[in-house]
Homo-oligomer: A and B are copies of this chain.
Amino acid sequence: MSNEPVWDRPEPPSKPSPTPLSRDLIVGAAIRLADEGGLDEVSIRKVAAALGAGPMRLYGYVETKDELLDLMVDEVYGEITLPEPGTDWRAALTRIAHGIRAAAKRHPWLVDLLGGRPHRGPNSLTHIEATLATLDGRPEFPTIDHVLGAVGTVMAYVHGAVRNEIAEAREEQASGMTEEQWQAASGPYMRKVLATGRFPRLAKVMFEAEHTNAAAWFDTGLDYVLNGIAATTRSPGWRPGGSATAPSAPSTAPAGP
Contact = CB atoms under 8 A, between A and B. Distances in A.
Contacts of A189: 120
Contacts of A244: 215-216, 219
Contact of A160 (B156, B210, B245, B250): B156
A24 interface: no
A14 interface: no
A156 B155 contact: no
B156 A202 contact: no
Majority secondary structure, A binding face: helix
Interface stretch (A30-38, A41-49, A57-65, A165-173): A165-173
A105 B251 contact: yes
A150 to B, nearest CB: 7
Oligomeric state, in number of copies? 2
Nearest to A136: B201
**Interface footprint category on A:** 35 or more
B209 A256 contact: yes
Interface in A216-254: 216-229, 231-232, 240-246, 248-254
Contacts of A229: 224, 228
Contact of A149 (B90, B136, B224, B240): B224
Given A125-B199, A215-B250, A224-B228, 19 more contacts: A90-B245, A101-B248, A116-B167, A118-B167, A120-B189, A132-B201, A145-B209, A145-B210, A147-B201, A149-B224, A153-B161, A156-B157, A156-B163, A164-B256, A169-B253, A216-B243, A223-B228, A223-B232, A225-B228
Interface of A: 90-91, 94-95, 98, 101-102, 105, 111-112, 115-118, 120, 122, 125-126, 128-129, 132-133, 136, 143-145, 147-150, 152-153, 155-161, 163-165, 167-172, 180, 182, 186, 189-190, 193, 198-202, 204-205, 208-229, 231-232, 240-246, 248-257
